[in-house]
Amino acid sequence: MRDHDPARELALATRLRRDHPAALVSAALGQARLRQRAVAKFGAEDAGRMYFTPNGVEQATRGAVAAHRAARFRSLGATRVTDLCCGIGGDAVELARAGIAVTGVDLDPLTCEIATANLRTLAPEGPQATVVCADVATYDAGDAQALFVDPARRRGSGRIFDPEAYSPPLSWALDAVRRAGLGAVKIAPGVPHELVPPDFTAEWISYEGDVKEAVLWHTPDAPDATRRATLLPSGATLAAQGLPDPAVREPGRYLYEPDGAVIRAHLVAEAARDLPGAGLIDETIAYLTADELRETPFATAYEITDVLPFHLKRLKALLREREIGVLTVKKRGSAVEPEELRRKVKLRGRNELTVVLTRVAGAPAMLLGHRARP
């Protein structure tokens, strides 16, 4: 089913039903569709061998993120982790692959069967891995060496934004981890910073520039930092050091766009530390500018050729003069929508350009340039 073609599904279903029960064929085709959706999170090799539910695909942790978390648990000395709200077992699989004995707990019997099958298929050589069908709110995890809690953050109506409306609530998950002494709670990346308890470290994680999740870590010792940003797949990490915001300055030759995890973690000042002379282009905008190009894993650099007040007719004229056929539009602090802008400028030509719609010293501006290459 790895090479399942949705366009030929009807013909395939008709052929299969000649020799197999209709219910079995329907279930097999459903799994083929879910596996295709799961490739983006788990890769073709793992996704092609796993089993899923629709909610399981939607809510499962990306494989690279789960592997990073498992490595973190191992570095903290965990040899046994209880995975509460384990879902289809994405995190449990990576914990087992990291050599950690794992007990997954979930309330839904079908989900538990799927998690068991995924562990058996993807981590057959790992340590003990079991799945228990139980309500995490009443499950006795008193002997757990470490806990990982991934509360449900969706209902039929969509995402849940109030952490106390998670299932189980965030306060319950934090208390459970405190009792264990070592553990982590997965939360939405948009969680307000004021909700992060002082005895936890908040880690924002991005994958290829997209922020995927936040995790609250608790260890027996004092937190190593209040906030942390981790960028995958490189593994580069940046910790809070309490630095003041960089000063606002005029745009230099280079514009630096911090990674989304760095911005979410409020670590733009820490990212600017290794960029000589870097400052903000506006006190409310998370863009840095500098005169020197310096490679950093925490921001993408653009070489700026024009800094102009935003004016659509002027932009159209520049694009026409420079024969721009491919336009990358980035924005921060601007009400202009990139797709709407692209429709209006009517691109023609063979050249490429990046335009950054933002504010400079409080005024709407457009910065033109291209991706810088160290």
pLDDT at res. 21: 76
pLDDT tens for the chain, 374 residues: list them. Answer: 445 566 676 666 667 777 677 777 677 777 888 899 999 999 999 999 999 998 888 889 999 999 999 999 999 999 999 999 999 999 999 999 999 999 999 999 999 999 999 999 999 887 789 999 999 999 998 888 999 999 988 776 678 888 999 999 999 999 999 999 999 999 999 999 999 999 999 999 999 999 999 999 999 988 888 999 999 999 999 999 999 999 999 999 999 999 999 999 999 999 999 999 999 999 999 999 999 999 999 999 999 999 999 999 999 999 999 999 999 999 999 999 999 998 899 899 999 999 999 999 999 999 999 999 87
**What is residue 341's predicted lDDT score, i.e. its pLDDT?**
93
Q: CA-to-CA distance for 146 and 100, rounded, in angstroms?
A: 11
- DSSP classification of residue 184: E
Place of tokens 């459970």: 176
Q: Give the pLDDT of residue 223.
A: 84
With a CB cutoff of 8 Å and minimum separation 6, the contacts of 94 are 63, 66, 67, 69, 70
Q: Cis peptide leading into 233, omega within 30 of 0?
A: yes
Which residue type, as a one-letter code, is found at position 85?
Answer: C
- Whole-number pLDDT of residue 160: 83
Break the chain into its structural domains and give their ranges: 6-38, 58-239, 254-371
pLDDT value of residue 7: 61
**Is residue 213 a contact partner of residue 61, using CB atoms and an 8 Å limit?**
yes
Q: Which ranges constitute the DSSP H helices of the chain? A: 9-16, 22-47, 54-59, 63-75, 90-97, 109-122, 170-180, 260-264, 268-272, 312-321, 338-345
Q: Is the peptide bond before 168 cis (omega within 30 degrees of 0)?
A: yes
Spatial distance between the Cα atoms of 270 and 259, rounded to a whole number of angstroms: 12
Backbone angles phi, psi at 287, to 5 degrees: -115, 135
Q: What are the residues facing 232 on neighbouring strands?
A: 207
Pairwise CA distance, residues 263 & 298, whole Å: 10
CATH number, domain 58-239: 3.40.50.150
Structure confidence at residue 1 (pLDDT): 45
